[in-house]
Amino acid sequence: MNLKRYSVFAILAAVLLLVSGIWIVLRDPAGQNKCFFGEVEYAPVLQWNGVIYNENWDTPLTGLKKGKPVGEITYTKADHKCPRKVMQDGDATLLDVGTKLYEVTGYKASARLWAGDRLYEANSNPNAKTLNDLLDVAGKIKTVRFISGMDGTTHLMDFTPEAAEIFIREFPKLKYIPFQELYKQTKGWVGANYWLEIEMKDGSTMTIVYNTLSPSFNPPAYATPELAALVEQQRKLIYTK
C-alpha cells in the first residue's frame, strides 16, 4: 500500500484500533483473554501527556527543527505478546524503547513531536476544544489543495487564493470532536471522501479527509455550512478547467 495513503488510514483507525484495544475486544468479547496471538499490523502511534500522536512520514522535514527534549519512549506494544490495552504516556506501538522525544520548533508539544528523526502529529487530545488546539496551525498554513484519493500523492488543484484565505482562517477555529464520537454520530463516517493537503509556511504538509455526507473533516471536526459549501465549490473547479 502506498505509504501516504496508509498514513491517512492510520489516522482514521488509530483511535479505534489501538487506543481502545478494540482488536482485543473483537477477538475476545468477554474480555477474559488479555493476549493476542495473531499477527498485528500496528499503525505508528505514541502517547505523551495524554495526547495520542500518529507519525507523519510523507511530509517534507527540511523546514522543521528540533527543540527542547521532553522525554523518551518507555514501552513498545509491538515487543509484547500481551500488550496492555490502554496506552500510557511514553508508550508507542513501534518506536524502540529509549527513542528520544523533542519539541518541534515553532509548534506546541501537544501538536507535534519529534521521535528521534520521525515527525509525530496529534490526532487525539482530551484537552483540545478547537482544531487549532489539536494541531497548532493557525497563522502557519500557506495553502490547501485537493489530492488524489487513489494514491494520496497526486496534486489535483490548489484552492483559489480567495477560497484558500477563507479556509486558512476558518479551519483552525472548528470545534474539535474526538474521532470516536464523530464515528458514532455519523454511524461509521460513511459516505464519499475528498482528500486534501494543507501545506504549511515551513514546507511541511498535513493530509486531511473531508466526508461529503456528514459533512466533516478528519482531523475530526464538523464543517461549518460556509466551509462545506466552499469545499464543494472548489471541488467542482477541478472538472471545469
pTM of the model: 0.85
CB 17 within 8 A of CB 180: no
Cis peptide before 219 (omega within 30 of 0): yes
pLDDT at 66: 97
Backbone angles phi, psi at 139, to 5 degrees: 80, 0
CB 217 within 8 A of CB 233: no
pLDDT at 38: 60
CB 78 within 8 A of CB 72: no
CB 135 within 8 A of CB 122: yes
CB 140 within 8 A of CB 134: no
Domains of the chain by residue range: 1-127, 128-241
Q: Kindly provide the b/e burial profile for residues 113-146, where b requires at least 16 CB atoms within 10 angstroms of the residue's own CB.
A: bbbbebbbbbbbbeebeebbbbbbbeebbebbbb
Of 101, 156, 2, 123, give the one whose Cα is nearest residue 53.
Answer: 123
CB 203 within 8 A of CB 189: no
pLDDT at 14: 45
pLDDT at 23: 36
pLDDT at 19: 39
pLDDT at 179: 95
Per-residue model confidence as pLDDT tens for the chain (241 residues) = 444 444 444 444 444 443 334 333 334 444 445 675 566 778 999 999 999 999 998 899 999 999 999 999 999 999 988 888 899 999 999 999 999 999 999 999 999 999 999 999 999 999 999 999 999 999 999 999 999 888 778 899 999 999 999 999 999 999 999 999 999 999 999 999 999 999 999 999 999 999 999 999 999 999 999 999 999 999 999 887 6
